[in-house]
Amino acid sequence: MPHSASDHEALSEGKDQDNPPPGQALAVTAEALYIANLLLMPGLCFIILLRLYFKHQASAPALAVCHLRQTVSASIWAGILLIVANLAIFLLGGYTSANTWTVAIIYFTTCHSTLVLLGILGLAKAMAGQNFVYPLVGKRCEG
């Protein structure tokens, strides 16, 4: 069976599609939990992510540790930004004020959607077996 151009490139870069890099599955899991924390089950997925982080931070391969660090850091920042948005709503008149919708819409169209898109990019990088550092909110990866 002939190889495609992408197969040839992957093989020439030393990547074997049948043997993923060490820690790739954990990296993908971390990124998926981060996205699920933002979109599906906030809190529960963050707790699972924290458990994975504390369980594997000292022993996992560099790829997994990088993605675990990124997702935990970004999740904490997402929580901080959500608290800031709620404080802004409260200070601008509370949840019955017309300002509520202004702050909520600005928060969701800028902060939240940016964090989700970064999570999707991080997931794509994890699936490709590559490190990824979240801009502004990420932690530097060693190696």
pLDDT in tens, 115-132: 999 999 999 999 999 999
For the chain, the domains span 21-127
Contacts of 57 (CB under 8 A, 6+ apart): 65, 68, 69
Q: 64, 23 in Cβ contact below 8 A? A: yes
pLDDT of the residue at 140:
81
Residues forming a β-bridge with 19: 16
Q: What pTM was estimated for this model as a whole? A: 0.82
User: What is the mean pLDDT, run by run of 10 residues, along the chain of 143 residues?
Assistant: 53 62 96 97 96 95 96 95 90 85 89 95 96 84 71
Locus of tokens 């990866």:
141
pLDDT of the residue at 12:
46
pLDDT in tens, 23-46: 999 999 999 999 999 999 999 999
Euclidean distance between CA atoms 111 and 74, whole angstroms: 11
Q: 28, 127 in Cβ contact below 8 A? A: yes
pLDDT of the residue at 14:
47
